[in-house]
């Protein structure tokens, strides 16, 4: 299983609630259009609490959503990448991203290897 994680920051002027609403009612659907049937998992984890839960300290988070996409293998990842990089897909995705994400922040994207402990 190959898993990618991307951390994204909302556009300036959007509240976290507006960001989440737009992402889940509009941007998510564009993602599903190109990912459905081509990946194992497409999930979003939105920041909901204080930036430091141990101290309860509030502040502006470095990112607002952690996007996860899982692929069964490298071939599935490559095939999906080809779909996403097609000109019509790229145009649709980029145009919607401009409405949602802060263009001045760096997009953090990485491939991860998951290790899970049995704690039950």
Q: How confident is the model at residue 95 (pLDDT cuts 50, 70, 90)?
A: very high
pLDDT tens per residue, range 58-88: 778 889 999 999 999 999 999 999 999 999 9
Helices (H), 7-113: 16-22, 28-35, 74-84, 87-100
List CB contacts of 77: < 8 A, sequence separation 6 or more.
Answer: 2, 4, 71
Mean pLDDT value across residues 29-37: 96
How far is Cα 84 from Cα 69, in angstroms, rounded to an integer? Answer: 13
pTM: 0.86
Q: How confident is the model at residue 22 (pLDDT cuts 50, 70, 90)?
A: very high
The residue with greater pLDDT, 107 or 12, is 12
Average pLDDT, the chain: 92
Burial of residue 52, with CB atoms counted within 10 A of its CB: 0-12 exposed, 13-18 middle, 19 or more buried = exposed
pLDDT of residue 51: 66
pLDDT of 114 higher than 90:
no
The structural domains of the chain, with segments of one domain joined by +, span: 2-51+61-112
List CB contacts of 61: < 8 A, sequence separation 6 or more.
Answer: 9, 47, 51
pLDDT of residue 50: 62
CATH no., domain 2-51+61-112: 3.30.70.100
Q: Is residue 11 within 8 Å of 101, Cβ to Cβ?
A: yes
């Amino acid at each position: 299983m190959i898993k990618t994680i991307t951390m994204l920051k909302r556009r300036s002027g959007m509240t976290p609630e507006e960001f989440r609403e737009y992402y889940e009612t509009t941007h998510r659907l564009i993602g599903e259009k190109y990912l459905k049937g081509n990946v194992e998992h497409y999930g979003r984890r939105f920041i909901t609490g204080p930036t430091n839960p141990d101290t309860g300290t509030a502040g502006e988070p470095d990112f607002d959503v952690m996007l996860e996409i899982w692929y069964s293998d490298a071939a599935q990842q490559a095939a999906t990448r080809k779909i996403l990089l097609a000109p019509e897909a790229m145009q649709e995705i980029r145009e919607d991203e401009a409405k949602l994400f802060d263009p001045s922040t760096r997009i953090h994207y990485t491939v991860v290897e998951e290790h899970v402990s049995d704690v039950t």
